[in-house]
Amino acid sequence: MDSESYARFLPASYRRRASEVAPTSTWWNWRGGRVHIARAAAPEASARALVVHGAAGYSAALWPVCAPIAGMAEVLMPDLPPYGSSVVPRPGRIRYGDWVELLCELVLVESRRDNRPLVLVGASMGGMLAYEVAARTGLASAVVATCLLDPSDPVARRHAARGAVGSVPLPALALLERIAGSVRVPMRWLADEHKMSRNPELSALCAADPKGGGAATPLGLLTSFARFEHTPPENFTDTPVVLTHPAADDWTPPELSTRFLDRVKAPTTLVVLENCGHYPAEEPGLTQLAETLYSLIGNTLGDCAQA
């Protein structure tokens, strides 16, 4: 699938923007593989935005939502293996910790090349990834997340996974990972992908996309997320966090994310995206997301200029 397949579900102005400023495919060698990075270069812009997708996502699926900030910031959108166009030698061995390390290394590499302020934007599971990368690298000016799904929260795990899968005790998940972590299965076996969007057709597209929800996912990727120990929010003190949570998210309701946000010690802001489902494609929430990013990037630049 390409970004146009997803853009057709968005308002006309977003469809036009996504086609006018289509990103360029670039590649980064990582651990014997090649990571695809969709990049909308903006050498005159004063900031960078690195967009992080979640499980069963990838750059083309998110580009129509993020295209409005291209030009205001240079936008980078990596495909985390095994999704998108990235290729790694042993995709069945990819674990959530590998995603964290990949993104930390990418942020370090990019920041050596380019010292403009960096905003990390995380969608779905990518929200916690952006949070963790900011905590580990100390190189982000701000984190924007559509979801902060804390895997240490049993209620959050039950919402994230399909049926009884979300209630499996952590020791049993560890055993499952050791025995069958490299087994790759359809994401629909493990997650309620029909809740991806309020539009059934968009949900079906996300679930069937061979580079996204239709790709075979290693069991160990999801069990390792459920068992991952993120930086405690009480220790996250420096980088501002903006939670832009869809109001009508039937998959991961806003209260799951706000319980985590309330514990973050750094400055926090909550923006509720009106009328939006888990994949934010509806108005007025879609424009609220864009306006939040505009404002944040502008304020971030102002703060950096004063420092």
What confidence tens digit (pLDDT) does each residue in 62-94 have? 999 999 999 999 999 999 999 999 999 999 999
- What pLDDT does 137 receive? 98
Across the chain, mean pLDDT equals: 91
Sign of CA dihedral 151, 61, 11, 130: positive
CA-CA distance, 128 to 165, in Å (whole number)? Answer: 20
CA-CA distance, 151 to 92, in Å (whole number)? Answer: 21
The SS3 call for residue 209 is coil
Half-sphere exposure of 62 (CA within 13 A, CB side): 32
User: Containing domain of residue 79, as a range?
Assistant: 3-306
CA-CA distance, 189 to 288, in Å (whole number)? Answer: 33
- What pLDDT does 158 receive? 80
Specify the CATH number for the domain of residue 31. 3.40.50.1820
What confidence tens digit (pLDDT) does each residue in 47-61 have? 999 999 999 999 999
Name 107's Cβ contacts closer than 8 Å, sequence gap at least 6.
50, 118, 120, 133, 137, 139, 140
Cis preceding-peptide flag for 82 (omega within 30 of 0): yes
Cis preceding-peptide flag for 43 (omega within 30 of 0): no
Which ranges in 115-228 belong to alpha helices (H)?
Answer: 126-137, 154-160, 170-180, 200-208, 219-227
pTM for this entry: 0.93
Sign of CA dihedral 208, 212, 218, 221: negative
CA-CA distance, 53 to 92, in Å (whole number)? Answer: 19
Q: How many domains does the chain have?
A: 1
CA-CA distance, 98 to 303, in Å (whole number)? Answer: 32
